[in-house]
Structure 1
Amino acid sequence: MARIAIDAAVVERPGAPFRIERLEIDPPRPGQVLVRVRACGICHTDMIMRDGDLPVPFPAVLGHEGAGVIAAVGQDVDHVMPGDSVLLSFHSCGACPACHAHQPGYCVDFVPRNFLGVLQPGEGGLWRGDQPVGSNIFGQSAFATYALAHRDNVVKVDADLPLALLAPLGCGIQTGAGTVLETLKVAPGESVAILGAGAVGLSAVMAAVIAEAGRIAILDRHAHRLDLARQLGAIETASEIADLVGLFDYVLDTTGVLALLEPAVALLTQRGTLALIAAYPPGTAGLDASAIMSMGRRIVGIVEGGVNPRQFIPRLITYYRDGRLPIEKIIKAYDFVDIEQAFAASQNGSVIKAVIAIY
């Protein structure tokens, strides 16, 4: 199978706009699959990579919440075949202790395989003429009509499911929901405070409702997001952290704002847990160690909800089918040619989860 021509949204250099252009993509090599992309969600991490705050190999094709249909498979791939509908998630090595423990988000190679787009020997990629283009971001680079993914990060789904709606399950939604349901295992009646009502935070709200949490509070500066959070099941809302009263069993930070972490610790009850699930800038948070130690409080970092996507995404789909995960309320679709508009709406907070439809 020869290279095929594709359309892809290319970022030429850090901070540059997306420009849709014609590239070529290799056929799938052993362990890879070629996916005809139908949709891809926009994640805050895409913005960080676009702006050069991670060492992405520019020029680059980003996009890591892809969904589509298998077009071809390489050798050693036997769990999907051409014509299967799939969702794409993050990439892992499959061989380290974390991967063996079904915790691929903590793979020893997570950073190079996801943020840096590192190709393993013999893997196919993207080309502009005879020059390689940065690809394999989160093992997919799905802001394109076709993407190369891997046997470990494709999840087969039923053909009747709306791919443009479910694409964000592969990152943002599984991060918020997985944190609540899998890593923290919130029990009925326990209390949860969520800092930030973006896609991750609102997914955590929906998951807290599924978990039958007794008290669900959420913090955000955008009134329309707080309104939606109440529709999704939040009981208390606040625009300032000082307005969150009482103590909580769990506090989830989705904002990445270091200044919020010390007051977040103060919101924890004895033996309460602060979950860090955002992208944080370098620096220190100035936490009071004695307030953590003396109350038996815990702080845990969580990547991608701490889930195995091939096990957890089907669970999310069951919740969606049952009407318990109404993600349609947080999603707005954009045409591929409007990718810049979609990023602007995501960045200014007017849209919670933008999804690019690629047909």
Structure 2
Amino acid sequence: MKTIAALSTGPDEPFTLAELDIDEPRPDELLVRIEAVGLCHTDLATKAMFPDGVAVVLGHEGAGIVERVGADVTDVHPGDKVVISYASCGTCERCGSGNPAYCRNFAQLNTSGARPDGSPTLTGPDGPVVGSFFGQSSFARYALTARRNAVVVPAEADLALAASFGCGVQTGAGAVVHVLKPGPDSRLVVFGLGGVGMAAVMAAANLGVRQIVGVDLSDTRRQTALKVGATDVLDGSAPELLTTLRQLTGGGATHAFDTTAVPGVIRTAAQGLASLGTLVLVGIGPDATLDLADLMGGGKTVRGSIEGDSDPQRFIPQLVEWQLDNAFPMQEIVRVFPFSQINEAVARSHDGSAIKPVLVFDA
């Protein structure tokens, strides 16, 4: 069958809409009619990696309606609403221990450009198109995904608000819930108030964390953070940021979360921890230099996290429940764009005026 997709053909080329052939679902696959898809920094970073002339369909925060299911899929049905998340094998020891974000086959399943056996899901006039991005390639009206990737959500779920639960929101909220695990008396500082950072703030608010400090260069984002659960905000460009942070948190944060991947920010985040504090990093960037004496003398922990250490089948329903209970105000950070305006959404993501762009289909 045919699908309209946003095609990338070079790092500096705009997305163009093209009609492609999409394969039929195999026994363990679903064909999903995408209704909404989040635009994530990972999409844009990956776009920049492919050379000119290589046709790629990205998109990895898809949500939609199940159109057809493969013969082996018995627990999902046409008409079900689903949020699509990252791919994992389900059989390696890491998946078996409840850590699918660290699946041994993660790279092959999510970034190889095809199914695990090498077969394409999308074909254009010139042959196979690089697809299966995060097991979905959901910058398209229709997407194929494995049953394991798809999380069924209630019929009343707003897919425009829930789409980014599949990656960015799961990463931020999951890092708080599953890795940092702050308690009611904790003092959490979130560095970088994009979609991932805002998700961390909202998750911490749902856990009842006493102090949630948001740090960002943008005053608009700082004000939005206060609306979604932050108790305090700080300007990331302030010359005495570290001193102010320590004062505000009564000597240092118990927990910190960095989304920026900026070496100087990471160093400040670590130095701003109180003794025995924990910093979690989710951004990928250049090497950062940390003060080892400060880390060792304070017994501090610094660790990375992928996808918030989340199992999508368990965590996405929790996020949807919070959203439906009006306890996870995604409407404050989502900015909706028609799918045909994907390049406008990219521009607004780059200039920071859209915290969480989401593309929606209107027909």
Aligned residues of 1:35 and 1:68 also touching (Cα < 8 A): yes
Q: Counterpart of 1:195?
A: 191
Farther off after superposition, 101-110 or 221-230: 101-110
CA distance in 2, matches of 1:207, 1:89: 19
CA distance in 2, matches of 1:239, 1:287: 22
Q: Counterpart of 2:355?
A: 352
Q: Secondary structure at the match of 1:160?
A: coil
- Shift of the 31–56 alpha-carbon distance from structure 1 to 2, 3 Å rule, reads farther
Q: Is 1:129 the equivalent of 2:132? A: no
Aligned residues of 1:7 and 1:20 also touching (Cα < 8 A): yes
Question: How many aligned residue pairs are there?
Answer: 353
Q: Counterpart of 2:9?
A: 12
Question: Deviations for 1:185-244, whole angstroms, at most 9, x for unmatched residues?
Answer: 211111100000101111111111111111111110110000011111212211134342
Q: Secondary structure at the match of 2:156?
A: coil
Q: Counterpart of 1:249?
A: 254
Aligned residues of 1:16 and 1:50 also touching (Cα < 8 A): no
Q: Counterpart of 1:26?
A: 23
Aligned residues of 1:31 and 1:76 also touching (Cα < 8 A): yes
Aligned residues of 2:62 and 2:166 also touching (Cα < 8 A): yes
Give the partner amino acid of 1:254. Answer: T
CA distance in 2, matches of 1:32, 1:55: 30
Aligned residues of 2:9 and 2:52 also touching (Cα < 8 A): no
CA distance in 2, matches of 1:263, 1:55: 36
Deviation for aligned residue 1:352: 0.3
Deviation for aligned residue 1:55: 8.8
- Give 1:147-226 correspondences, 5 Å limit: 147-226=143-222
Q: Counterpart of 1:71?
A: 67
Q: Counterpart of 2:47?
A: 50
Q: Is 1:311 the equivalent of 2:314? A: yes
CA distance in 2, matches of 1:158, 1:58: 38
CA distance in 2, matches of 1:310, 1:204: 19
CA distance in 1, matches of 2:317, 2:52: 30
Deviation for aligned residue 1:116: 3.2
Aligned residues of 1:57 and 1:116 also touching (Cα < 8 A): no
Q: Secondary structure at the match of 1:60?
A: coil
Aligned residues of 2:90 and 2:96 also touching (Cα < 8 A): yes
Unaligned runs of 5+ residues in structure 1 are none
Q: Secondary structure at the match of 1:61?
A: coil
- TM-score with structure 2 length normalisation? 0.93
CA distance in 1, matches of 2:310, 2:360: 26
Give the partner amino acid of 1:179. Answer: A
Aligned Cα root-mean-square deviation (Å): 1.7
Give the partner amino acid of 1:308. Answer: D
Aligned residues of 2:10 and 2:53 also touching (Cα < 8 A): no
Give the partner amino acid of 1:112. Answer: Q
Aligned residues of 2:29 and 2:144 also touching (Cα < 8 A): yes
- Shift of the 141–230 alpha-carbon distance from structure 1 to 2, 3 Å rule, reads same
Q: 2:340 aligns with which of 326, 337, 342?
A: 337
Give the partner amino acid of 1:24. Answer: D
Give the partner amino acid of 2:212. Answer: I
CA distance in 2, matches of 1:228, 1:317: 21
- TM-score with structure 1 length normalisation? 0.94
Aligned residues of 2:337 and 2:358 also touching (Cα < 8 A): yes
Q: Counterpart of 2:34?
A: 37
CA distance in 1, matches of 2:117, 2:338: 35
Q: Is 1:142 the equivalent of 2:138? A: yes
Q: Secondary structure at the match of 1:319?
A: helix
Aligned residues of 1:62 and 1:143 also touching (Cα < 8 A): yes
Q: Counterpart of 2:281?
A: 276
Give the partner amino acid of 2:99. Answer: Q
CA distance in 1, matches of 2:158, 2:229: 24
Aligned residues of 2:258 and 2:281 also touching (Cα < 8 A): yes
Unaligned runs of 5+ residues in structure 2 are none
Question: Deviations for 1:153-199, whole angstroms, at most 9, x for unmatched residues?
Answer: 10011122211221111111111111111222211111100000101
Deviation for aligned residue 1:131: 0.4
Question: Deviations for 1:67-97, whole angstroms, at most 9, x for unmatched residues?
Answer: 0111111232222121111010111111111
Question: Deviations for 1:264-284, whole angstroms, at most 9, x for unmatched residues?
Answer: 111111111110011x22x42
